[in-house]
Structure 1
Amino acid sequence: MSHSDDEQVLPLAAGEHSPVPGAVKIASQDMAGRSHTTRTKARLAALDILFEADLLESDLLDSLTRRMDDPEITVREFTQQIVAGVRDYQRDIDARINSASARDWPIERMPRIDRNIARIAVWELDHTDTDLKVIISEALEMAAELSTDDSEKFLNGLLASAAADHRNARPPEEEDQDEY
C-alpha cells in the first residue's frame, strides 16, 4: 500500500497491535503543514461532532450517527469512544470544568470550541490511560489551531486545575505506583 507524500508511517507503540493484518499507523500533514497522528485526527473529528451538536443543540449520538451513516466519511473507533464518553458523562465533565474554571467564567460563557476541547480532555483524563501531558498538549494544539488567541492560555490553566483535582482524587495506592 502506498502513502501520499504528506503521510509518514509510524512504528506501533509497545503493546499496540494492528487492527487488521498489514495495517499501519500513519501521521499526515494538514494544509498548514502540521503533522497529525491517527489519534489526533480522531480527537479533531470528535471535536467537530461535539461542536456541531452544541451549536445545533442536538444529541451527540445523533450527530455521530449522521457521520457514521455517510459512506464518504470514516469515523474512527476512538472518535466514537470520545463522543459516547462525553455524552455519557457530560454532567460530571461539565461540573469538573466549572470547578476548574475561574468562578466568574462558567462553561456556558466559554466559546463553544473551548468548552468542547475541555470536555474531550477531561473525559480523556478520567476515562483513558493516556498520559496527562499528551492530553493537555493535544487540547492546547487544537485550541491554538482552532480558537481565540487567549484560548490556549485559558485552557492550559483550566486543564492543569482539572488534572490536579483528578490526581488528588486518586486512591493512595495508585499514587504510590507513580513514585516507582
Structure 2
Amino acid sequence: MTPSPTERKTRGRKSSNRRKRPRGSPQARAAARLAAVQALYQMDIAETPIADALAQYLSGPIPLDDAGKRLGDIDPDFFADLLRGVEGHRAELDAMIQGALSPEWPFERLEALHRALLRAALYELWRRADVPARVAMNEYVDLAHAFYAGPEPAMINALLETLAKRLREAEFDGGAG
C-alpha cells in the first residue's frame, strides 16, 4: 500500500499532538486579512492597543466569512505583519489614500471599515512585494463585498487600482502581473 503524502512527510518523525498553524497558504492568508481588517477596525473605533488586538486574534476564535463559516486558521506571521505594518506606517498610508481621493471626498469622510480595508490593502501593495498587486487588490475587494452590498466595493476597487498602479507600475505595464 502506498503511503499518503502526509504519511511520507511524517515518516521517521516523532508525532506531535500539537496542531500546527498553516503559514503562507492562500486560505491562511485570506483568514489573516479578514482578521487584520477586523482588528484594525476595532483598533480605530475602540482604540484597542495593538498588543491586545494581536493577542485577541492570535489566541481567540477563528474569523468567520460573510456566511458565518469558519475560515480556518490564520497565518499568524502574516496577520502580525499586517497589523504592525499598518500601525507603524499609518500616517504614510493615510496620506497615500488621501492622495487618491477626489477633493470633494476627504479622508475623514471615509468610514472606519473603509479605512481598515484600504490601510491593510495599501500596506500589502506598498511593503509586501511577495504578494502580487492583483492578488492583494482582489482579496480586499472580496472582503469589501463580504461587508457591503452597495457601491462601496466598487469604490474600494477604484482606489486600490489607482494606488496599485502608482506603487507597482511595472506589474500593470503591458498586462504583466
Please confirm whether the aligned pair reaches a TM-score higher than 0.5, indicating the same fold.
yes
Residue 27 (structure 2) aligns with: 37
Deviations 1:50-104 (A, max 9, x none): 0111111333333223444x46667611111100000111110010011011222
Alignment partners' CA distance in 2, 1:140 and 1:45: 15
Greater RCO, 1 or 2 (C-alpha within 8 Å, sep 6+)? 2
Aligned length: 145
Q: What's the counterpart of residue 115 of structure 1?
A: 115
Letter in 2 for 1:162: L
Contact 1:50 1:116 in 2 (8 A): yes
Decide whether aligned partners of structure 1 residues 62 and 26 sit closer, same or farther in structure 2, where only a CA change above 3 A counts.
closer
The alpha-carbon deviation at position 165 of structure 1 amounts to 1.8
Which whole-Å CA distance do the structure 2 matches of 1:139 and 1:46 have between them?
A: 11
Contact conserved, 1:61 with 1:84, CA < 8 A, in 2?
no
Which 5+ residue runs of structure 1 have no aligned equivalent? Answer: 1-21, 28-35
* Root mean square deviation, CA, Å: 3.2
> Structure 1 pair 164/64, CA: closer, same or farther in 2 (3 Å)?
same
For the pair shown, the structure with the greater C-alpha radius of gyration is 2
Runs of 4+ in 1 over 4 A off after TM superposition: 22-27, 70-75
Whether the aligned pair in 2 keeps the contact of 1:144 and 1:152 (CA below 8 Å) is yes
Shift of the 116–26 alpha-carbon distance from structure 1 to 2, 3 Å rule, reads closer
* Mapped contact 1:86–1:93 kept (Cα < 8 A): yes
- CA gap of 1:149–1:99, structure 2 versus 1, over 3 A, is same
TM-score normalised by the chain length of structure 1: 0.68
Distance 1:141 1:175 in 2: 20
- Tell me: CA distance 1:23–1:88, structure 2 relative to 1, closer, same or farther (3 Å): closer
SS of the residue corresponding to residue 89 of structure 2 reads helix
Q: Distance in 1 between matches of 2:49 and 2:21?
A: 33
Does the C-alpha gap of structure 1 residues 25 and 150 become closer, same or farther in structure 2, counting only changes over 3 Å? same
**Aligned 8 A contact 2:165 2:172 in 1:** no
User: Which residue of 1 is the match for residue 43 of structure 2?
Assistant: 53
- Aligned residue for 1:144? 145
TM-score by length of 2: 0.69
> What SS does the aligned partner of 1:37 have?
helix
Letter in 2 for 1:64: L
- Larger strand fraction of residues: 1
